[in-house]
Every structure is written in structure tokens, then in C-alpha cells.
Structure 1
Amino acid sequence: MTPAERQEIVRERSKGVTHKDLAALFGVSERTVYYTLRTEKERKRDTRIRTKQVSVTLTPEELDGFDQVLARHGVASRSAGVRCLIQSANGIFQPDPFLAEELKSFRAALNRVGNNVTQIAKRLNEARAKGIAPVFGDRSLAQLRLLSGFVLDFADQVDALSRRRVSRVTLEAHNALKEFSDAPE
């Protein structure tokens, strides 16, 4: 087959013509059509011909912030910056085993707190249903204060953990942009 015929197969297939019809049209086997399409796909990938597009909708503030980061790192265009982030995303957006383990322990602790709150609510409802004023002494008040303190500490720990993770991802993204800005076009 000539290169022009191969390109015609690729064009016609992108229009939705079936492999079988293409084989009949060009007088080749279906296997040849599959091979031609695969070879073209690999050629585009190997020569780094860009065939896919990514679109994202941002607020004006988000776009302004992105432009500022790009300018700070000397990246010439938004598309170059997004391309760099996508290329380096495999290293940046990996699951964090430490974060996952911490969140697992937080979930267990929160389940215990939830069980305690459920028990307190159950006892108060039982007392109210019987027309009895619930016994709520200093010990019960101290337990509720401890429980409240735990929940607040828990929220602070989750906040700190997520802020550290965001800072790390931000640093890695900045490093990826820096490397990209130093690379030849």
C-alpha cells in the first residue's frame, strides 16, 4: 500500500467507516486495516503528535492564580503549563500511604466517638419517654467535655494533615513547572 492509501484508511476510519468496508474498498484484508491503524496510532505517539485536547472551566480568580504561577516559573503559555502538569501528574497524584493510614485511624476513632454519642442520645431518649429527668451529673458533663474536645482535636488533626498534603502537592507541582520552564522547547 502507498502512504497515501494508508492515510486514506486512517481518514475514512475516523469518519466511522468499518474495518470490513475499508478492507473491501482498498482490496486488502481486515488485518491489514487494523495493522495500518495501529501503526498510525503508534507513529503519532512516537513522534509526539498531539491528538487529544483537555478543557477545564475556571473562575477568573483561579485562572489569574494559574497565570501568576506560570509567570513566576517562566512558562510561556497556559497549554505548556497544563501539559507539564499532566506529564508530571503520575508522580504528583500518587496515593499517599501515610495519609491513607492516618485517615484510617481517624475513621476508627470517629466511629468510637459516634458510638458514644449514640449511647448518650439513647439514654436521654429512654429517660424522656419514661417521663424521668435524666441523671446528668458532673461525671456525665466531664465525659461530654472530653468528647467535645476530642472532636475538635480530631478536626484540627485532619485539617493539619490535609494542609501538609496540599503543601506537598503544591511544591511538587511548582517543581514540575520549574523543570518544564528550564527544558528546551
Structure 2
Amino acid sequence: MASRRRLTPEERQEIVRERLKGLTHAALAAKFGVSERTVYYTLRTEKDRRRDTRVRTKQVSVTLTPEELQGFDEVLTRHGVSSRSAGVRLLIQSANGVFQPDQHLAEELKSFRAALNRVGNNVTQIAKRLNEARAKGIAPVFGDPSLTQLRLLSGFVLDFADQVDALARRRVSQVTLEAHRALKDFSDVPE
């Protein structure tokens, strides 16, 4: 089996930059000596990373009367929001049902991430053993203990998904209530 070349972090960033310039996946794969699949994964991982770290790339602009702006500033001050852009961002996130993680939620998600990483490592080990057996031309050992392990793993993943869903729903409900209160305050501003 041929060994696969690993990309350095600098090469991964260069792939992203080159793709933005218009290079095809095939050209990038040839340039870096990797498969097209590796290029696809690299680009998708970077896109996910930017979304997960909340790298902001879009702008919103709005024109207001002096009275509207004054009312907006008063509401922001009353709610302890530090800037106009933060206030608009909170309203947009609330209106779309997207939540901005608070400290408690961030800690909960960190523990969930660790648990999910352990599950991912287990799945990777199972797949590795099955692939090694197939490459050697032998039937993989897959008895009742392995099947029990997979069932337990599946149950854990389903329970994990339910816990994350419940946590997210609770937080979205709380943020939505805050947004409704803030929007009500904005509707009370004189026109």
C-alpha cells in the first residue's frame, strides 16, 4: 500500500488561497502531490473551521433617521450591549434562531466534543482493522463482541445527538425570548 503524503498547515492554507484564485481541484492535487479527495476535504475543513470560529465575512448596512438611531442607542445602553454592530448582530442571530454560545453552553459543548472525539477514534480503529484485513485478503474478525460494541456506540451517538439538540433548543428559546423583548423595545421607539 502506497504511503500518503500529509499536508502541512501552510500547504492547506495555500490550497485555500489557490482555489479562490480559480485553480481546479485536479490542478491543486497535482501541484501538492495529493489526491483530489484530499483537496476537497481540505477546502471543506477550512470552510467548516471558518463557520465554527465565526469568522465574519458579510456586512449589513441600514439607513436610519436621527430619532431611530437615538432610540436604538438607548435600547443598547439599557441592555448593556457594547456597540451598534453587536446589537444588530444579536438581533439578526436571534431572529434567525441562531444562538451565540454563552459560557455555560460553551463548556457543555466542549465536554460533548471530547466525548464525540472518543467515539470517532473508536470508529476509526474499527474501520482501520477492517481495511487492514481486507488488504491482506483475510476475512475480518467480527463476532458478537464487535457487534455489541457497535450497538453500544450507535446508542451513545444517538443519545449524544438528543442531548445536543435539547441543549440547543433550550438556548434558542432563551435567546428568542430576549430578542422578542428587545424587538418590543424597538417597536416602542417614537417614529
TM-score, with length taken from structure 1: 0.50
TM-score, with length taken from structure 2: 0.48
